[in-house]
Amino acid sequence: MELKKNPKLEIGSNSSLYFAIGLNIMLFFTYSALEYKTYEKTDIGQDILMLEQEFEDDIPITEQIQTPPPPPPQATPEVITIVEDVQEIEETVIESTEMSQEEAIEDVIEVEDVEIEEIEEDVAVSFAVVEKVPIFPGCTGNSNADLKACFQQKMQEHLLKNFNYPETAMELGIHGKVFVLFEINKDGVVSGIQTRGPDKLLEKEAARIIGLLPKMIPGKQRGRAVRVPYSIPINFRIEQ
């Protein structure tokens, strides 16, 4: 006799259906787990503000007592004393000091009696406009132009004769032009030497050269001796 299986009792007949149902259930739980969101809870504190009622103190109103002002002082009556006028007042007569035309003037001052003192003015006149330039020793000439030309020539000869380049300035390579301003006073002597140049060594040497100038005949303006300022450049040059 052959045994036959009941088709209702076949286990594998619905296995695919059960697999699909289980797969859907697992997908549902997985999706739910992924979509699940949590939020941080913040602590909320509540403070209760208690307001106390302020009470104002009632200040009692006091009555102000006004004191009456003091009475004004009583005026003392003035005592008038009568003084008898014993002394006699002498009247002074003011005489007029005006002089009439009839009165003659006793003291007559003549113009010849007044002495006029001449004040000698200390005036400085430029070398270019002075009427008569200072005369350098050895210069001769009839006109002021000739004396000017001779003066300038003698100045150049004096510079060349007494020129001495400072050794320190030469070693340091100091060179340049020094402008010298001096004055020939009313006695013909050189004074007031002023220098301006690139270095103190050159300025000192330029002042030394001008200080060696001889005494001259002073310049004249309107027949009087005057101070005559004069300026000259001295060029310190190193030849290579």
In a domain, 226, yes or no: yes
> Residue 190 is part of which domain span?
144-236
The pLDDT of residue 187 is 93
In a domain, 99, yes or no: no
In a domain, 133, yes or no: no
Q: How does pLDDT run along the chain (240 residues), one tens digit per residue?
A: 555 555 555 556 677 888 888 888 988 888 888 887 765 655 544 454 454 455 455 555 555 666 677 777 766 666 566 656 555 656 655 665 666 555 555 555 555 555 655 555 678 899 999 999 999 999 988 899 999 999 999 999 999 999 999 999 999 999 999 999 999 999 999 999 999 999 999 999 999 999 999 999 999 999 899 999 999 999 998 876
In a domain, 3, yes or no: no
Instruction: Provide the β-strand partners of residue 227.
Output: 124
**The overall pTM is greater than 0.75:** no
In a domain, 73, yes or no: no
Quick check: 138 and 153 in contact, CB under 8 A?
Answer: no
Number of domains in the chain: 1
Tally of CB atoms within 10 A around 149: 14
The pLDDT of residue 4 is 55
The pLDDT of residue 117 is 59
In a domain, 97, yes or no: no
In a domain, 172, yes or no: yes
Contacting residues for 204 by C-beta, under 8 A, at least 6 apart: 166, 195
CATH classification at residue 162:
3.30.2420
In a domain, 217, yes or no: yes
